[in-house]
Every structure is written in structure tokens, then in C-alpha cells.
Structure 1
Amino acid sequence: MTTAMKNGLAGQCERVLVKALGSPLPIGLRMWDGSHAGPSDAPILSVRSNRALRHLLWCPGELGLARAYVMGEIDVDGDFRQALGQCRRFVRSLRAAGRVSLPRLSMLGALALRLGAVGSPPPVPAEEARLTGRLHSRRRDGDAIAHHYDLGNEFYQAILDPSMAYSCACWSSGTHRLADAQREKLDLVCRKLALGPGKRLLDIGCGWGSLVLHAARNYGVRATGVTISAQQHQFVQSRIRADVIGDAVDVRLQDYRDATGGPFDAVASIEMGEHVGEVNYARYAETLRTSVRPGGRVLIQQMSRGSVAPGGGAFIKAYIAPDMFMCPLHRTLGYLEDAGLEIREVVSLREQYVRTIDAWSTQLDEVWDDIVRRHGVRQARIWRLYLAGSALAFEENRMSVHQILAVRPTSDGLSGMPIGDGAADR
């Protein structure tokens, strides 16, 4: 590295940052003048202009960084997830050591002034969600779902497996393909729900129809799905028309609060509870119970998070899933029990989700140019950041996901579950 490169903007930033924070940089740094600093054996954060710093000045923290990345003002050379992980651990160590203080922040402020970061706020990316209305009202819930799921069916077709399962897969030993892992997940759900010929299944939040179509084709059930995503509904309807078992599947453009036709023999809700909101969760649990017959089974697959950032954080709320609420596991179980369901099995799939997201990320990279052409580079960058950050959150146990199997006991308290080995999926 030349002296000029060391003494450029990157060198200035490194000296101030090390002095202010009392720690070396966790990753490399490249500034818009071409100068480099920091470790040479780590990913490199490229800062393309002082507008990136202005994003952080006006919106410190996760959202400011996300805006700068979405707008292309910063980039990462090297392993994206590794860079996120190293930076997160760096910030966590600073907080633990008490190195974030007013004098140290004033040094960073002086640096921002020298770099020309002080000025009017930069434009906010148009891709940020701007919802209005009462939280978790029907209209606002519809807008929130449309922001995420109505991005375009062809977008999700490009990164998901052919079944269009947009949830954690189950990777058994020897499974290497995403399509196989998603089929294993769908089979596991069907077995846990004891599905078979002639039984009726309700899938609340059916997505692009992966479960209802799989259950009808392979287990002989009559399946009903509900979704409030117009594009998902359109997609599943086209699949039903093209499928020889189409008469066995009915998918409705309908809010879960309006689901009718029960009681069903079994009810599933795969990673949909995150969208109902804390204020509506008791009602959601009650809907699950009333929709299944006495002695019938309910299976929920749901992400969870503790009291810190239950909505997933500022970036996810702004760009991916506005109004999402990941209910902590113990509270979910409480809601289900209060509704009159008996919990029979809880299984964590946390590590499985890391592998699932990695598969989606790989697919995104493979179709990157097509995604950029069809949906724009900002949307592609949003999803690269979303997938990398989500995989890291599951890997570090800041987020989890569980399959919860419950039953609605009969008036005599009978569950209909087998006695013996306790295997709920048999």
C-alpha cells in the first residue's frame, strides 16, 4: 500500500476512529478518493461519497447504514455476511466496554465535518414503506402484506424453489437441494397434522400454495387456503387451474379473520403469525382453535424474537415487513393455551433457517443481473442485505423459528394423539 493511499481519507478516518473508539477497524475501509485502511485480510467497506456519511449523520445506526447501502453510497467487497457479523461484534464490544461516550462522539462529529458530511438530509429511498392508518387495521395489514409479497411473483420464482415455499425448510442428513429440503418440510407438516384421504385442511396465510397443493397431491386432502396478497392469490389460482387435482384445492383472497368453512380436520399456519401483530394475537389464536374440529390438530411454524427489536429491526420494518411482530415463544404458547389448544410438541428449526436463507442468497446471486433488470438495483441490494442480515440473526440466536403442534381437545379432554413413542409426526 502506498503512502498516499495510507494518508488519504481512509487513513484520516482510521486514525480518528481508532483514537475515538480505542480499537482497530474490524474490516477494511476504502474511501471515495481511492485510499485504503484497516486490515487487508477482511472484507472491505467502500464509501463512495460523503452522502453515505450524511445518511448516518441524519439517521444514526442501522437505518442510516441501510439507506446508504440501498442508494449505492456504500458497498462491501468480499463476504457480505462476514462483514455484517464482524461489524456487529465490533459495535457490541464497544458498548460492552463503555467506549461510546460524548467526548468520543464529538471526535467523530469533527471528522464528519472535515469530510463534508454535514449538510441537508439526503433523499430517503423510495423503496421504504410508508404505511398510514391504525396499526393492524385490515386496510393497513393489507398494505403491509402488499409491500412485501406483491413485489412480483416472478421475483419470488427467481429465488425460491419450484414449490414456492417461502419459509424455513427441513434439511435432513444427505439433503443438498433446496427443493428437496422444502419437500421434506411439507411432508413433515402433513405427517404432524395426520393428513390423509378425505380430510379437510385449512392453511391460514397460504402464500403461493406450496402446502395446499402438496397436501392435495400427495395426501388426498381437500385443502383450503387464505391469503390477502393479490399476487399470491392470482399465482395459486393459475396453479390450481393447471393441476389435475385442482378441484380439491380452494384458495381465497381473504383475511384470516374472515375464514369460513370450518371446522376443518387440521389447520396450518406457516410463518404467517408474524404479521398479525401483538394486539391481534389472541384473536389469531382463537381463530386457529375455532377453525379446527375437536380432536383436530393445529401446526404453526413461526419466527420468534425476544424483547429487543421484536419487529426485526429498523431495516426490516422499513424495507421488508412493516408492522411485523415476532412473538416470543413463551408468549405464543400462552396465547394458544389461553385459546383452548393443548401444546403437544415444540421443535426449533433455527439452524435449518440459516441453511435455507443461504440457499436463497445463492440463488439471488445467480440471478442478480436479471433481478436488477426487472426490479432495479435498489431492490436487489435490499434483498442482499435482508438475506445476509437474517441468516446472521438466526446464526447468532437473535432470532429463532419453531414448529408448534397443538390439538383442540374434545369435550371429554381427548386429544386423539397416539400413545407410545410420542412421535408427533407418525
Structure 2
Amino acid sequence: MSPTRTAKSGAAQRLAALVETALGGPLPVRLRAWDGSEAGPPTGPVIVVRSRRALRRLLWQPGELGLAQAYVTGEVDVEGSLAEGLRTMWSAAREQRLHAPSPGVAELARAAGTALLLGAAGPRPPAPASQARLRGGLHSRARDRAAVRHHYDLSNAFYRLLLDETMAYSCGYWVSDDPSFGAVDAQRAKLELICRKLALVPGARLLDIGCGWGSLTLYAAERHQARVTAVTLAAEQAAHVREQVAARGLGDRVEVVCQDYRDISGGGYDAVSTVEMGEHVGDAEYPAFASALHRMVRPLGRVLVQQMARGTNAPGGGAFIEAYIAPDMHMRPVGETVGLLEDAGLEVRAVESMREHYVRTVEAWHRTLEERWDDVVALVGTETARVWRLYLVGGALAFEERRMGVDQILSVRPAPGGGSGMPSTPRDWYEGLERL
């Protein structure tokens, strides 16, 4: 690397001035530019702008999405801990009340002038190949299918590298701080908790909407002898679940259906589960989704929704997540989801926050990603691997800082006379989970 340049003509100093204007406050991290110049605090995380192309990308796409594009392509990097870099930025935003870049005409003109001086002006760079490209009406069947394929059909081999043996891609339940209690134990505890909340008994009919790779489906069929209908839109997931059903001899208890939830026929299920699928339904479509949950379950049957939430100031998934991870996803405050379920005729009986559990779950996935980095890159490429690094690090921080949450919402379809069939004090839900 060339010696650090401190002259005001250095690229880092010019970029720092732009960033401080956009943020409305001092630069919270150190900045190093492609010419070796540096600006910003002498200690802490270092943001490395590796090429002029990064500046051009941010000029065309200011804000979170442009930064994400520059990171996943390697045009921008973080020296040291990515988590610490993101944490520092968010902390500065809170403490100094900085605002996200939303430049006006004057700021854009200044940025364009700086880009011209630095030799970074030019046509808009193409979006990275890993960015989703969906067409059609929002939450049409075809578009939803494409959104699911973008994320969940990345390949079963990739998810086998990332996840534990349960293949559960949702928040675990960390009931022990013992170092020997790991991610797979947390997932089994979560699966058992769901089965207990749903009061599954041998022969009970469970509808698992958005079954993923079948963690709950297989657990309920094996451990509780339930008869399960597993529904997913992802062909890769359906193939995996069918393989596991055959391998475990569960063909008489499990049916796997690859279809849209809107096409599910029948009803009268004893229980319905939907684990972190409701975020993909869409805001306008959620009332109909909640009505479908009510319609599918019998009177006195139970419905469990495990779902991520977000504050009223940021109800969606965010520009990066919606562009790279879960296109068209929508999160809302948990209270609004409770209201929608109640409006559909369900009686909400228990809401349990699992926010801190998701911090530990996502951190476990991130550790696995880093430990198996070379294998992941060989399988999906460096760009997609960097997408997932940013996703997991940023996700854990969002749950840690309460910008996102996740909750289990247990409800019942009341009998015509109003009865719930629920025990007044369900003491057995949590007993012995750490020993599974």
C-alpha cells in the first residue's frame, strides 16, 4: 500500500466531506481511499473504498442500496470487524442524530463535481448479478414464486453448509447458557416448544405453511406422531423434505405439497403453523392470509405464527434485504399482526418475544459461514458469499439493537360459544427443553 496521504487533495478527504454533508455530522469511521489517502477518526473501523467505481455507484444510487452494491462487489470493504463497523455507524446515527443520505439537488451536484475531479464520473454501473430482478404485479403468484426461488432455491447444498443438521432456517430457542448447548439444541428446543404450544398428540393433523426444509414437519411427525401436510413454494425445499420423509419412513404421516398458500384446499386441521413465512405474504395480502389460517383450522384448533417484526418507522425489510435476500418482504410491529389475526376471528392467547434468541441464532450462522468460507465461495461465488456475510452481520445487529424483532404468536379458533379449549396456565410448555 502506498504511504498514507493527508493532503486536502486526497480522495479520502474529498469523500469524507461529501459523507459528512450527507450525514449532517462528523464522519464516525475512518475512511481509506484507493489512492492511499485517509480521513476520519484515527481509531476504530476503517472503511476501504477500493475503486472509483464505488463512488460512481453511490452517485447513481445513494443510500443503503448503493453501499450494499459496492460492498458485495468488493468495491467497498471494512478493515477489521464488519459488525463493529456497522455498529459504529448505527451508534453515531443514534447519538448524533445523523440522518440517512437523502441528497438534494445541491448535494448531488457537489457529489458529481467531486466524482469528476476524482475521475469517477461515468455511466451508471450495472447492478450486481446477485441482486433480485423480479417482474409482474406485487405479490402475484408468479412474482411470489420468483421471490421464493431467488432466496430459497439458492441450493440445498448451500443451506446444508450454513445450517445445522435440523436444516431449520428460523430463530432458535436458547434455553441454556451452557457452552455445550449449541445451535442444533436451540433449534430442537424451538421445535418442541411449537409442538407443545400447538398441543400436538398422536394422530393430530398439522398444516405447516412455509415448511422450509421440513424441520418442524419432520419433528412433529417423528416425535409427536402427528400427520403433517407440509406446504412450500420452493422446489428445492420440497425435494429435500420428500427425501427425508422417505429416508425416515414417514410416508404414512407426511404429505409434501409444492404450492402457493392461496391454493391450499381442505381444512379442519387440528393445528396450523407458519414459521417465518408471514413476512413474505405482503401487507395488503395479510388480512386474506390471516383469514386462511382461521379457515384451515377447526374450532378449538390452534394456530402458531412465528414472525419477524419491525418498528413503524421502517416497516419493510430494508433496501438491501429486499433487493438481495427476501424480495418484497414486509414486516410490521407485532401489535399490528396480532390485530390482523384477531380481525380474522382468531383469539390470540400468547405472544412471546424471541428477539435475543435471534441474535444468538444469526451469530451462529455467521460463525459457520466464516468457518466454511472457502467452501461457500466455491459453491456460490464470492459475490453471493459477501451478500450473506453482510446479511447475517447486519441482521444480528438489527435484532440486538431492537430495530427488528421476532415473536411467536399463539392463537386459537374459538368454538361457537366462545370456548378456547386452552388451559388457563400452560405450565408444561417450557419444562425440560434444555434436555432434548
| TM-score normalised by structure 1 residue count | 0.93
Confirm or deny that 1:370 pairs with 2:371. Answer: no
Deviates more, 1:125-134 or 1:371-380: 125-134
- Specify every segment of 5 or more residues in structure 2 that has no aligned partner in the other structure, as ranges: 432-436
Q: Secondary structure at the match of 2:417?
A: coil
Deviates more, 1:387-396 or 1:339-348: 387-396
Contact 1:14 1:25 in 2 (8 A): no
Distance 1:25 1:245 in 2: 58
Confirm or deny that 1:317 pairs with 2:318. Answer: no
Contact 2:30 2:38 in 1 (8 A): yes
Question: Quick one: which of 64, 75, 82 aligns to 2:77?
Answer: 75
- CA shift, 1:169, in A, is 0.6
Q: Percent identity?
A: 55
- Alignment partner, residue 190 of structure 2: 185
Confirm or deny that 1:235 pairs with 2:240. Answer: yes
**Equivalence map 1:171-182=2 (5 Å):** 171-175=174-178, 176-182=181-187
Q: Secondary structure at the match of 2:399?
A: helix
Contact 2:322 2:329 in 1 (8 A): yes
Question: Quick one: which of 274, 282, 285 aligns to 2:279?
Answer: 274
Cα 1:359–1:4 change in 2 (3 A) is closer
Confirm or deny that 1:256 pairs with 2:261. Answer: yes
Confirm or deny that 1:12 pairs with 2:13. Answer: yes
Contact 2:93 2:99 in 1 (8 A): no
- The one-letter amino acid of 1:282's match is P
- The one-letter amino acid of 2:38's match is H
Distance 1:97 1:331 in 2: 27
- CA shift, 1:89, in A, is 3.5
- Alignment partner, residue 86 of structure 1: 88
**Equivalence map 1:114-263=2 (5 Å):** 114-175=117-178, 176-263=181-268
- The one-letter amino acid of 1:147's match is H
- The one-letter amino acid of 1:70's match is V
Distance 1:101 1:169 in 2: 40
Distance 1:18 1:201 in 2: 53
- CA shift, 1:69, in A, is 1.0
Contact 2:83 2:394 in 1 (8 A): yes
Q: Secondary structure at the match of 1:419?
A: coil
Cα 1:269–1:25 change in 2 (3 A) is same
Query: CA offsets per residue over residues 339-360 of structure 1, 9 Å max, x none?
Result: 1110100011111111111111
Distance 2:235 2:344 in 1: 30
- The one-letter amino acid of 2:88's match is Q
Q: Secondary structure at the match of 1:90?
A: helix
Question: Quick one: which of 329, 333, 338 aligns to 2:338?
Answer: 333
Deviates more, 1:330-339 or 1:303-312: 303-312
Contact 2:130 2:384 in 1 (8 A): yes
Q: Secondary structure at the match of 2:28?
A: coil
Deviates more, 1:13-22 or 1:149-158: 13-22
Question: Quick one: which of 39, 43, 46 aligns to 1:44?
Answer: 46
Distance 1:68 1:14 in 2: 15
Cα 1:278–1:118 change in 2 (3 A) is same
Contact 2:62 2:102 in 1 (8 A): no
- Alignment partner, residue 66 of structure 1: 68
Query: CA offsets per residue over residues 211-258 of structure 1, 9 Å max, x none?
Result: 010111111111111001011001111111111333211111121112
Cα 1:98–1:349 change in 2 (3 A) is closer
Distance 2:354 2:20 in 1: 42
Contact 2:193 2:429 in 1 (8 A): no
- Specify every segment of 5 or more residues in structure 1 that has no aligned partner in the other structure, as ranges: none
- CA shift, 1:326, in A, is 1.1
- CA shift, 1:316, in A, is 1.0
| Two-structure CA RMSD over aligned residues (Å) | 2.5
Q: Secondary structure at the match of 1:83?
A: helix
Distance 2:415 2:293 in 1: 15
Distance 1:98 1:294 in 2: 48
- CA shift, 1:22, in A, is 7.2
Deviates more, 1:380-389 or 1:416-425: 416-425
- Alignment partner, residue 307 of structure 2: 302
Deviates more, 1:294-303 or 1:308-317: 308-317
Query: CA offsets per residue over residues 54-91 of structure 1, 9 Å max, x none?
Result: 11000100011111111111111111111112123334
Cα 1:48–1:163 change in 2 (3 A) is same
Distance 2:376 2:230 in 1: 29
Contact 1:347 1:404 in 2 (8 A): yes
Cα 1:104–1:3 change in 2 (3 A) is farther
- Alignment partner, residue 57 of structure 2: 55
Aligned residues: 426
Contact 2:305 2:410 in 1 (8 A): yes
Deviates more, 1:82-91 or 1:332-341: 82-91
Distance 2:94 2:113 in 1: 23
Deviates more, 1:257-266 or 1:416-425: 416-425
- CA shift, 1:24, in A, is 4.1
Contact 1:16 1:108 in 2 (8 A): no
Distance 1:376 1:177 in 2: 28
- Alignment partner, residue 111 of structure 1: 114
